[in-house]
Amino acid sequence: MNHRLFLTLILLSWISMFFGTSYVQIMPLFADMLQSGERGFGLLISATGVGSIIGNLFITRYQDSRKLGIMMLSSAAMAPFFLLGFSLVAWILSGTSGVFWLACCFAILNSAFSSVFLVSSMTVLQIKVPDAFRGRVMGIHSISFGMMTMGGLSAGVLASQFSAPVAVIIGAIVVLSSVIWEF
């Protein structure tokens, strides 16, 4: 049994959900920055949903465990870059023509890569964990889903102290650092 692999995947999932998806909780701040109003807020939130669907559909093509591992690692590394792009575009280019749609593209790509990582990590755990431990390990892994809303609290605190982009940039750096540290 590969305890290090299990621990790494679970911790990365928790960190990714806590720091890497918390921007969704403070999306109204980004909608304000991008001067897009309620309609823009709805579109930004929808962009994250579209990205998740794309990522989930994409990952269904990879059943070979070696390719799945490569997809998992590359998506874990790419998601924070698109999150950085989202924050920087909203922060630096807000008010510029077309920047709203660029922010939507970054949100789609971040969500797609985040979904690829999350689904592939769950798949690898289900394949590699012995039957006797699978329920417990997957239960511990599912804590990831609660991490998103808890991360929203920390993002909100950081956004109130600094700004929404700074909160998200800090989260993206934490996620990227954890990916580099673990692999």
The string of pLDDT tens digits covering residues 31-84 is 999 999 999 999 999 999 999 999 999 998 877 767 888 889 999 999 999 999
State the chain's mean pLDDT as an integer: 92
Judge contact between 79 and 85, C-beta under 8 A.
no
The residue-averaged pLDDT of 14-36 equals 94
Residue for token digits 């909203």? 90
- The model's pTM: 0.91
Percent of the chain with pLDDT over 90: 67
One-letter amino acid of 150: M
The string of pLDDT tens digits covering residues 119-139 is 999 888 888 888 888 888 888
Domain 3-182 has CATH 3.30.70.60: no
**pLDDT for the residue 65:** 67
Q: How is the chain split into domains, by residue range?
A: 3-182
**pLDDT for the residue 97:** 81
